Amino acid sequence: MMQPFQKVRALTGMKDILPDASARWEAIEDLVRRWLGAYGYRNIRTPVLEQTRLFSRGIGEVTDIVEKEMYSFTDTLNGEQLTMRPEFTAGVVRAAIEHNLLYDRPQRVYSMGPVFRHERPQRGRYRQFHQVDVEALGFVGPDIDAELIVMLARLWRMLALSDVRLELNSLGQADERAAHRVALVDYFERHLDGLDDDARRRLHANPLRILDTKNPAMQGLVDAAPRLGDFLGAESRAHFEGVCHRLEEAGVAYRLNPRLVRGLDYYNLTVFEWVTDRLGTQGTVCGGGRYDGLVELLGGKATPAIGFAIGMERLLELWNQAIAGGGRECDVYVVHQSDAAQRVAALAAERLRDAGIRVIVHSGSHGFKSQFKRADGSGAAAAVIFGEEELSAGTASIKWLRSEEALARAQQKTVPLECLVDELRLGI
Ligand code: ATP
Ligand code: MG
């Protein structure tokens, strides 16, 4: 008699993506490739398996990833220590060095695919997950730092995701961080009584982590601790201001978060994360930053670089939500009061589309009430109104439709037609 075979199941935290779900994966991968192509990024594919020491060196020995999350094993054939990639950056940098890609020019490259981390599985956190990884190698910035961030804002727009916020910080350079660390340890040593056990343990090993505490009793102490921003020199500050100004010019809103340090050792200067409240506790969709020291650390010629990684599972969940919620048919819904107004509105809408804004111009009855109902139903961020007054003055009025935008900006604002694109960019 044949022995009954105990069924094999997929490993914990590793998911099958079945055909129904896979269609959405392919759709988002296509869209991501088009988006990256528009900025001149080219694909690079590196092996899933690498030598363990690439990651321990590249990511840093005392990081969560290297300390406890890597899938590592010994190759039984030759005794080599190997690791399934837990992220892309180290492998991409290794390949760039190995093939002299950075010899005479910078490179804009991207990768997409699975990465592996031995974490506790939960919503938005898996053991095999997928990233879109983007690296700009050989650029000093700050123009390229801003370009990467503006580029991400475009991706959220392409996917009609409205609730992804940008958090930004500068980590300065290693010597500036060292001076801050000394001040931090000194400060906490003077306030030992206020520290919990965790914080006391971290005081000398990793004092920055104390700033991350969830203990409400320590909040006051932590808030008053020395800030890294106050230790940045003129060059680091100028770099950061260069990034911030460019984001403002591009209409990308950000929040300065002095607590944002990122988990990896290799970052310097600009670091950022895009976060949302729509995914429960795993709310970070994308994280990145500058890592000017990494190429040299891995044996290459010193080369500045910056990159980011998007978590595809989290991105897809957001996108599915946006679509399930009726999606956002357009960014702007245009309403109008007369035939003459409709014609001006249609031409203005063409200009908005030239600027990459998705526009529906109302067609049908001229009654404002029913038009606004449609505008609401479309999920648009704003209605643009062409009434008699606007028509004779050469203006248009903007009415923000989503409550958070309406609160942040004036409920309704009338602007000259030539300012319409810039005004709308503030809220979509
Ligand atoms: P977290 O703080 O959530 O652990 P991280 O700092 O470890 O994130 P990164 O190494 O910056 O994450 O990875 C980039 C992105 O990959 C994250 O912003 C997130 O969207 C996604 N990501 C990270 N870990 C996982 C995981 N275990 N499962 C699914 N997605 C993940
Ligand atoms: Mg992590």
d(CA 405, CA 426): 9
Coil, strand or helix at 17: coil
% of the chain exceeding 90 in pLDDT: 66
Which ligand 1 atom sits nearest the alpha carbon of residue 119? 27
Looking at per-residue pLDDT, the higher value among 306 and 103 belongs to 306
Whose atoms come closest to the Cα of 282: which ligand?
1
| The two three-digit tokens of residue 171, written as one number | 């980590």
Nearest CA to ligand 1 atom 9: 287
The pLDDT value recorded for residue 209 is: 76
Instruction: State yes or no: pLDDT of 317 exceeds 60.
Output: yes
Average pLDDT, the chain: 91
Coil, strand or helix at 395: strand
Beta strands in 318-410 (DSSP E): 332-336, 359-361, 382-386, 395-400
**For ligand 1, is residue 58 a contact (CB within 6 Å)?**
no
Coil, strand or helix at 132: strand
Q: State the distance from the centre of ligand 1 to the C-alpha of 283, rounded, in angstroms.
A: 9
How many CB atoms are located within 10 Å of the residue 47 CB? 10
Instruction: State yes or no: pLDDT of 163 exceeds 90.
Output: no
**For ligand 1, is residue 313 a contact (CB within 6 Å)?**
yes
Q: State the distance from the centre of ligand 2 to the C-alpha of 385, rounded, in angstroms.
A: 46
Burial of 64 (0-12, 13-18, 19+ CB in 10 A): middle
Q: pTM of the entire structure?
A: 0.77
How many CB atoms are located within 10 Å of the residue 308 CB? 23
Distances, alpha carbon 212 to alpha carbons 102, 120, 202, in Å: 37, 20, 11
d(CA 36, CA 30): 10
Tell me the range of 3-7, 283-287, 367-371, 405-409 where mean pLDDT is highest.
283-287
**For ligand 1, is residue 119 a contact (CB within 6 Å)?**
yes
Alpha helices in 116-233 (DSSP H): 143-158, 174-190, 197-205, 207-210, 219-223
Confidence of residue 176 (pLDDT cuts 50, 70, 90): very high
Coil, strand or helix at 360: strand
Report the length, in residues, of the chain. 428
Instruction: State yes or no: pLDDT of 403 exceeds 80.
Output: no
**For ligand 1, is residue 126 a contact (CB within 6 Å)?**
yes
d(CA 358, CA 160): 10
Contact 375, 332 (CB under 8 A): no
Per residue in 371-406, is it b (16+ CB within 10 Å) or e — as a string? bbebbeebbbbbbbbbbeebbeeebbbbbbbbeebb
Q: Which residue has the tokens 């999920």?
A: 379
Nearest CA to ligand 1 atom 22: 311
Instruction: State yes or no: pLDDT of 21 exceeds 90.
Output: no
Backbone angles phi, psi at 370, to 5 degrees: -70, -30
d(CA 366, CA 348): 18
Of the candidates 127, 128, 108, the residue with the CA atom closest to the CA atom of residue 119: 127
The pLDDT value recorded for residue 267 is: 85
Burial of 426 (0-12, 13-18, 19+ CB in 10 A): middle
How many CB atoms are located within 10 Å of the residue 368 CB? 16
Contact 186, 225 (CB under 8 A): no
The pLDDT value recorded for residue 2 is: 80
Instruction: State yes or no: pLDDT of 296 exceeds 60.
Output: yes
Domains of the chain in start order, with CATH, are 19-172+232-322 (3.30.930.10), 332-425 (3.40.50.800)
Looking at per-residue pLDDT, the higher value among 104 and 153 belongs to 153
